[in-house]
Amino acid sequence: MIVDFHSHTCESDGTLSPRALVEFMHRRGVQIFSITDHDTLAAYDGLAAPPGTRIVTGIEINTAYADSEVHILGYALPTSHAQLQEVLARNRAARRTRVGRIVAQLREAGHDIAMEHVEAEATARAALGRPHVGKALIRRGIAPDIETAFRKFLRRGTAGYVPSTHMGPHEAIDVVAAAGGIPVLAHPGRLKDYDVIDELARHGLRGLEVFYPSHERAQVHHFRERAKRLGLVMTAGSDFHDIRYHTRGVGMEVDDEDIRPFIELTGAA
């Protein structure tokens, strides 16, 4: 089965419009998918699934914990839940504040970049993030590509690094669950300590993104077994943002028996 439960549009830090991303999913033969923009559900405004496909509402909430970036994905969410929308609005404001600090630190380090350069890389209502800063660095001739922008200017230990501190993963899980959604841990291969998975499972985490482009075969095996041990459903996602940087495009081919429990949990079966 070809699915993709992790992708981004221009409503956060992706390049394509929601409609263009949906069309891309359809062309690639993705049967069931989600748009998981950071801290916003705006992509779902007026969005419809092409014939023969199904959409599961989704979101990605960035958090930091145990010296790692810990991203919580939320699925099967209502798009008009008042408490959820309030939390997301706060997160978007915190994102803007963080980007402002990143820009200030880069300027202090002697780099010719300003907030308006970053804002020019996003739509008016987009949730700002480091990828927008990275694109501005490229456009200003400070970095040659997005990988270099992150490695030299935006990661821990560089001039532009500012930690994300506005929410922890436990709170993000609570927010998703309170809205009636399904909290899932994104790209666990990025964690420094895999035991965080067990801790979050005890707190109410319900799924694990086992299938992810950068997960090596041994990691997929490990996360599959860990999900089974903890009673977590397995998900799959490309984390697609831009075809220039995600040349594999969208869609993950996974065994039906691995992904079916998640699909059934979302009600999309």
Does residue 251 sit within a domain? Answer: no
Confidence band of 67 (pLDDT split at 50, 70, 90): confident
Does residue 80 sit within a domain? Answer: no
Does residue 58 sit within a domain? Answer: no
Confidence band of 64 (pLDDT split at 50, 70, 90): confident
Which pLDDT value is given to residue 210? Answer: 98
Confidence band of 125 (pLDDT split at 50, 70, 90): confident
Does residue 96 sit within a domain? Answer: yes
Q: Note the pLDDT tens digit of each residue in 210-226.
A: 999 999 999 999 999 99
Does residue 93 sit within a domain? Answer: yes
Does residue 176 sit within a domain? Answer: no
In CATH, what number is assigned to the domain containing residue 108? 1.10.150.650
Q: Note the pLDDT tens digit of each residue in 239-249.
A: 999 998 888 99
Does residue 133 sit within a domain? Answer: yes
Please give the residue range of the domain that contains residue 102: 87-154
Q: How many domains does the chain have?
A: 1
Angstrom distance (rounded) from CA 176 to CA 178: 6
Does residue 136 sit within a domain? Answer: yes
pTM for the whole structure? 0.94
